[in-house]
């Protein structure tokens, strides 16, 4: 079992009327609402939380990339990864991930991740993402090119890391007369790659083909099982191997409280509400702009949007809620992993406007009263 500490680094003071006044906490939510002095404290606290995860024995700390929004304040995940190198000793630094389709020059990602890998002594996990639809609005990028750019950027970066330069790259989206990335990554042949998935067959098959672990964020358990089953099926039927639990990870909110589930849930409720009603204020055309997916996937997305509207927003929990006493959290955590055959839990301790002290108390309890009892070496299947 692997435990990662996942963080979004959200902005905690989003206007309570963000939906009515701005319709979105993304792309068009005015940056005059951002207070840089508060921002400095936030970065400091959030980095402390991830540094603490390293101290208490988490296998990795997770950063990610989102642009022009109050949901997550990491437009450059590589800057965060860099800040974490000196604050952590043992944990891997999982960049989940670089939005490689968003870059005019994907070689910049090859360079930066290689730098991070060398600087960290080979502690980088390199996630690659397309970027959600909102990023295409923010970056002025035609979403109909997203898939093509993602796959080509991936091929280019992997080749830049694994084949001697200089070589020429002449692709549909990117052209370089000289590809010759200095430095090269420390891990050979390159840092491990992770990809997320929203369940499209193309992505699942591609990930299975490359044996890239799926790291899914905010996907409910029923869908996780479907995604993982299809991945396992592609692996065994198309690519001739059995995909193990180490190839599957997912996020779940964790909150540990000595007084039990009811008290824990009551304390988390306002922060979950904040996440759903403010930070995740993301209209469908911003989330899924025209051309971001195939028409069939858009129909599925309409179904999901309708389900979410009925259930009050996206779920932060996959499977049984990891909100409760240490014993409850520990047992459920193992059951959740077993339920879908995943090996990695990406635990999210901070959500929405949850204050630092509350996060740290929960993490301490997790460290002292949950982690010692987890069967960390057990392969869950």
Partner 1 sequence: MSEIFSVDLPSQSARVQHGGEGPPLLLLHSEANTSAWSEFHECLAADFEVFAPIHPGFGGEETPDWLVDMSDLAFHYKDLLGSLELDRPLVVGTSLGAWIASDLAIHFSSLIKGMVLFGPIGLRSAEPLPDLFIMQLPEVLSYLANSLDGGQVDPMTGDAELATAVWTDLATQARLMWKRNYDPRLRGRAHHADCPVMVAAGDHDRLTPLSYTEAYAELFDASLTTIAGAGHLVPLDDPVAAAALVNSFYLTLEK
Q: Which residues bind partner 1 (CB under 8 A)?
A: 27-28, 136-137, 140-145, 148, 283-286, 289-291, 294-295, 298-299, 302-303, 305-306, 309
Name the minimum Å distance from CB 221 to partner 1.
25
Which spans in the chain are helix H? 18-22, 36-55, 77-87, 107-119, 133-139, 146-162, 201-210, 221-238, 261-274, 284-287, 295-311, 326-340, 356-365
C-alpha closest to that of 155 among 93, 75, 101, 202: 101
Identify the three-state secondary structure at position 294: coil
Name the minimum Å distance from CB 70 to partner 1.
17
Q: Residue 90 or residue 148: which is nearer to partner 1 going by CB?
A: 148
Name the minimum Å distance from CB 277 to partner 1.
17
Which residues lie closer than 8 Å to 108 by C-beta, 6 or more apart?
none
Q: Residue 32 or residue 310: which is nearer to partner 1 going by CB?
A: 310
Name the minimum Å distance from CB 149 to partner 1.
13
Q: Residue 145 or residue 356: which is nearer to partner 1 going by CB?
A: 145
* DSSP 8-class letter at 194: E
C-alpha closest to that of 127 among 215, 219, 222, 11: 215
Q: Residue 182 or residue 295: which is nearer to partner 1 going by CB?
A: 295
Name the minimum Å distance from CB 278 to partner 1.
19
Half-sphere exposure of 179 (CA within 13 A, CB side): 25
Q: Residue 79 or residue 294: which is nearer to partner 1 going by CB?
A: 294
Half-sphere exposure of 21 (CA within 13 A, CB side): 10
């Amino acid at each position: 079992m692997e435990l990662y500490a996942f963080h979004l680094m959200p902005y905690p003071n989003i206007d309570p009327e963000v939906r009515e006044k701005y319709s979105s906490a993304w792309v068009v939510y005015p940056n005059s609402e951002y207070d840089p002095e508060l921002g400095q404290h936030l970065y400091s606290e959030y980095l402390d939380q991830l540094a603490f995860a390293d101290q208490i024995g988490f296998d990795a700390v997770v950063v990610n990339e989102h642009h022009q929004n109050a949901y997550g304040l990491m437009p450059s995940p590589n800057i965060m990864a860099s800040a974490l190198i000196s604050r952590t000793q043992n944990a891997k630094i999982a960049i989940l991930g670089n939005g490689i389709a968003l870059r005019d020059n994907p070689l910049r990602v090859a360079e930066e991740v290689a730098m991070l890998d060398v600087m960290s002594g080979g502690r980088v996990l390199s996630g690659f993402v397309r970027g959600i639809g909102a990023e295409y609005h923010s970056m002025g990028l035609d979403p109909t090119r997203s898939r093509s750019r993602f796959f080509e950027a991936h091929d280019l970066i992997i080749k830049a890391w694994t084949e001697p330069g200089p070589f020429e790259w002449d692709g549909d989206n990117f052209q370089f007369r000289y590809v010759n990335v200095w430095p090269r990554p420390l891990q050979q042949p390159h840092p491990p790659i992770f990809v997320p998935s929203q369940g499209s067959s193309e992505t699942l098959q591609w990930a299975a083909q490359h044996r890239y672990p799926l790291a899914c964020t905010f996907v409910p358990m029923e869908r996780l099982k479907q995604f993982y089953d299809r991945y396992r099926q592609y692996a065994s039927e198309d690519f001739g191997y059995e995909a193990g639990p180490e190839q599957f990870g997912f996020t779940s909110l964790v909150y540990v409280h000595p007084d039990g589930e009811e008290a824990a849930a009551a304390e988390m409720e306002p922060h979950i509400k904040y996440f759903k009603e403010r930070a995740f204020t993301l209209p469908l055309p911003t989330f899924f702009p025209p051309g971001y997916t195939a028409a069939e996937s858009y129909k599925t997305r309409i179904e999901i949007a309708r389900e979410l509207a009925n259930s009050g927003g996206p779920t932060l929990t996959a499977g049984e809620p990891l909100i409760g006493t240490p014993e409850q959290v520990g047992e459920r955590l193992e059951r959740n992993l077993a339920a879908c055959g995943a090996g990695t839990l990406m635990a999210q301790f901070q959500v929405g406007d949850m204050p630092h002290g509350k996060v740290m108390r929960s993490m301490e309890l997790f460290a002292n009263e949950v982690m010692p009892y987890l069967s960390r070496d057990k392969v869950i299947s």
